[in-house]
Structure 1
Amino acid sequence: MEIAFWLLITLVFYTYVGYGIVLFILVKIRGSKVSPKIYDSVNEVAITHIVAAFNEEAYIEEKIQNSLALNYPQSKNILWIVTDGSTDSTPELVQKYENVRLFHSPERKGKIHAVNRVMPLVETPIVVYSDANTILNQESLHNITRHYIDPKVGCVSGEKRIRQDDKDEASSAGEGMYWKYESFLKKYDYHLHSVVGAAGELFSIRTDLYEHINPDTLIEDFYLSLRIAQKGYKIAYEPEAYALENSSESIKEESKRKIRIAAGGHQAIWRLRSLLNFFQYGWLSFQFISHRVLRWTLTPLALSLLLVLNAFLAVNNILYQLILVAQLGFYGLAFLGHFFQKRKIKVKALFVPFYFTFMNISVYQGFFRYIKGSQSVLWERASRKV
């Protein structure tokens, strides 16, 4: 029982902290596998920028204006807006712009169905995807396309950034901290070998590497990018191409997103299970398991088992009693964070325990949704602050 307890503690530490340390050390020992000349290169190839939008009338004009004003040759920056199923004024607002191509269908079948529908029409060598409620930095397209001078790069992941201010509550602040740590991991993943999946807020691919994706895929950006990595290409990471969006309106809204991602993560792990084969995929398998698989499968379970084992081991043993008090204290702080969150009281010291616990509960909820088949691809977008 003691051996199992300490193995579980090691697993939890490795998943959330240790992997980042190991990554950093490995890159320092092996050296970066990214050519420095990439960052001094200009590769302004023609791109098609696809934005899938569902009922985005509050954001779509700002998105279009931002996309057209990016520092990239206008003749090579083709903007497409796909509005399948939109019932608000999004299609009409898009039609106001002559240099934007609208693809509208009254039937709503999900984001990946919409993308599958328009991809056969793309004629440029590179496709960029971004969300309708995000704003891109001026140099984003330039900074993305320069990575394609490396023929081994098949996909480039931009960075997701969360707008924050001093009034943000625990869920918003936690989301921001989470993405900052994710950005650190992605940076070193890329320098070691490859990023392990791109985020849909901003990423790009070589057009000829796109494959028709099953319409029931829940997190199509993650699945599509890893399928490209599975073919032997690298997923690059470009922190100076970033998508800026507001934090979730509330913890309830953030929960929608986290549960969907967790359900999609379980689905993706099953469909990409061949990536678990170290003998075939080497470093990519190591990164896939360390960065993604553990976080969505074994480690949340380990957290629950640690409490149970600790309770048994604490009988007549002062060390395990102290550890149990520490565990219960941590979750007590998380509960307090939830309590104050509901009452709009901001206590910074509670952000980390609250958001950490919230994320792992979402993994459980997502797993049960996945096995029940109750997570629809027609998910309700989480409301963002304005």
Structure 2
Amino acid sequence: MEIFLVVCAGLVAYTYVGYGMLVWLLVKIRGRRPALKTDTVFAPDVTLIVPAYNELSCLPDKVANSFAQLYPAEKLHFLFVTEGSTDGSADFLRSKYGNRVAIMEGTERRGKVAAMNRAMLQVKTPLAIFTDANTILNPEAVQNLVSHFRDPKVGAVAGEKRILTNESESAAGSGEGLYWKYESFLKRLDSDLHTIVGAAGELFAVRTALYEPVETDTILDDFIISLRIAGQGYRVAYEPDAYAMERPSFSIVDEQKRKIRIAAGGFQSIVRLTYLLNIFRYGWLTFEYVSHRAMRWAVAPLCLPLIFLANAWLVVRELGIAPSGQYVWTVLFVLQCIFYVAAWVGYRLEKKNLRWKLLFVPFYFTFMNVCALAGLVRYLKGNQSGTWEKVRRAGEVERTYGL
């Protein structure tokens, strides 16, 4: 039982801390990947694709932000996908911007993935960039993403996701911000070592010729698309100076819905990307994929309750046989209890709209792993579809109520 506990604890520690330290060390030993330098101007035609289901409240800002990109205007094309929208998004775009933007509309809502597959059939440019309607890009985002495609070995490029939080933000929102800061750090390391494993749907670019239609019930389309491109032998680069900014989930309930759905999508992705587990064929890609993604979804969340139960059993045994003053497992169990009590207190305070920053880490860590287990249950039950369940973001509520 002691060995079992230590192994489980080691797996959790490796997943959340050890992997980052190992990749950092490997990058230091191997050196960072050299940038591809050239004196020629690189500005191929690009299509910016914006899935916008019932996003009328976001569209004025999104269109203005898209037009403000520092990229040759004649090279940048816009395609807004409003399929199934019932809020007048297509009419607004058509009347306001005319021929400056292309619109893919339709009365039937088939889901984001089906819409993306259809949209890619309309793309005639060599590069396509996906970005969400409720995000704002920095003006250099398109140019910074495109610059990586000078390298013919790059098949996709992921931008950075940034969560805009304020001092009074909910614990879930602040925890989400901390999570994405750490995730961005890991992506930089992954990219320097070999390739990143999974782009964020808020902002990523692909070579049009490499795009493979995705199953319409896919939940994590951005993850599947980028990993399948990596599986074809291309790198997925990371560009932190191309970033998409959005507000966090409005409440703990909204964030919980999002996390559970993403976790269910993670298990779905593991099943559909089983072939990437062949380290003899995919090498570094398999190492990064398993360590950074698969273990976070499918290993660490399962290990945590096993660690607690094994520790409790060892405490019972230790109280009966341990020499005076040598209660190692008891001390460890007490520390676990303190951590989870702190997480529970953070959750209760959050429900009452009270925040204590000291509890952000234990609360969000526990919250994230509980949602992962709930996502596993959801996946096993088959209670999911490719139609994205939109959650409220803080910015949307602020616009709605004039906050």
Counterpart-to-counterpart distance in 2, 1:42 and 1:327? 56
| Partner SS for 1:87 | coil
The change in CA–CA distance for 1:287 and 1:307 in structure 2 (over 3 A counts) is same
The alignment's TM-score, normalised by the length of structure 2, stands at 0.94
Amino acid at match of 2:91: E
- Who is 1:319 aligned against? 328
In the alignment, does 2:103 pair up with 1:94? no
Counterpart-to-counterpart distance in 2, 1:38 and 1:131? 31
Cα displacement (A) at 1:44: 1.5
**Runs of 4+ off more than 3 Å:** 37-42
Counterpart-to-counterpart distance in 1, 2:347 and 2:56? 32
Count of aligned residue pairs for this structure pair: 385
Amino acid at match of 2:34: S
Amino acid at match of 1:382: V
Counterpart-to-counterpart distance in 1, 2:89 and 2:256? 26
After superposition, the C-alpha distances for 1:27-47 in whole angstroms (9 at most, x for unaligned) are 000112x22245988522110
| Partner SS for 1:151 | coil
| Partner SS for 2:79 | strand
Amino acid at match of 1:380: E
| Partner SS for 1:16 | helix
- Who is 1:10 aligned against? 10
After superposition, the C-alpha distances for 1:22-70 in whole angstroms (9 at most, x for unaligned) are 01000000112x2224598852211000011111011011101100111
Amino acid at match of 1:343: K
After superposition, the C-alpha distances for 1:239-273 in whole angstroms (9 at most, x for unaligned) are 00000001110011111111111111100111101
Counterpart-to-counterpart distance in 1, 2:259 and 2:134? 17
Cα displacement (A) at 1:282: 0.4
**Structure 2 counterparts to residues 128-207 of structure 1, below 5 A:** 128-207=129-208
The worse-fitting range, judged by mean Cα deviation, of 294-303 and 37-46 is: 37-46
| Partner SS for 1:78 | strand
Structure 2 residue ranges without an equivalent (≥5) = 396-403
2:219–2:262 CA contact under 8 A, matched in 1:
yes
After superposition, the C-alpha distances for 1:311-355 in whole angstroms (9 at most, x for unaligned) are 011122410000000111100000000011111111000000100
Counterpart-to-counterpart distance in 1, 2:6 and 2:335? 15
In the alignment, does 2:268 pair up with 1:288? no
- Who is 1:355 aligned against? 364
1:38–1:146 CA contact under 8 A, matched in 2:
no
- Who is 2:70 aligned against? 71
Amino acid at match of 1:2: E
Counterpart-to-counterpart distance in 1, 2:131 and 2:38? 22
2:346–2:360 CA contact under 8 A, matched in 1:
yes
- Who is 1:336 aligned against? 345
The alignment's TM-score, normalised by the length of structure 1, stands at 0.98
Amino acid at match of 2:388: W
- Who is 1:221 aligned against? 222
2:36–2:151 CA contact under 8 A, matched in 1:
no
- Who is 1:31 aligned against? 31
Q: What's the Cα RMSD here?
A: 1.2
In the alignment, does 2:378 pair up with 1:377? no
